[in-house]
Structure 1
Amino acid sequence: MDQNLKKMDWNVTTNGKSFILYFNFLVAHYEELPFVLRMRYVFRLIQYIYYPVLAVVGFAVNILTIVILPRGKCGLSRCVTRYLVAMAATDLLVIILDLILRHIPILYQKEFHFVYSFRVCNIHAVLLHAATDCSVWFTVSFTFDRFVAICCQKLKTKYCTERTAAVVLGTVTLLSGLKNIFWYFMLTSFYNLSNMPWFCYTTIDVLNSPVWTAITFLHYILTPCVPFALILLLNAVTARHIILASRARRQLRGASSGECPSDPEMDSRRNSIILLFVISGNFILLWAVFMVHSIWIQMYYLGYDSVYIPFYLMDIGFMLQLLSCCTNMAIYAVTQTKFRQQLKNVGKYPFTLILKLIKR
Structure 2
Amino acid sequence: MHVPAGVRQPTDVAVTGLGLVTPAGPDAESTWDGLLDGRPTAARDELLAGLPVDFSCRVAGLGPAAPADGAERALRLGAAAAREALADAGLSAAGAAWTGARVAVVIGRSGGDGGEGLAHGIGTALGASGPSFVTAAGCASGASALGVARDLLRAGACDVAVAGGAESVRGPAAVAAYGSGAAGGVLSARTHDPAGASRPFDADRDGFVLGEGAGVLVLERCADARARRARVRAVFAGYGASARPLAEPGPDLEGRGAERALRAALADAGLGPEDVDHVNAHGSGVPLEDLVEARVLRRVFGWTPPPVTAVKSVIGHSVGGAGAVEAACTVLTLRDQAIPPTANLDRLDPEIELDVVTKSPRRRPVRAALSTVCALRGQNAVLVFRAP
Shorter-chain TM-score: what band?
A: under 0.3
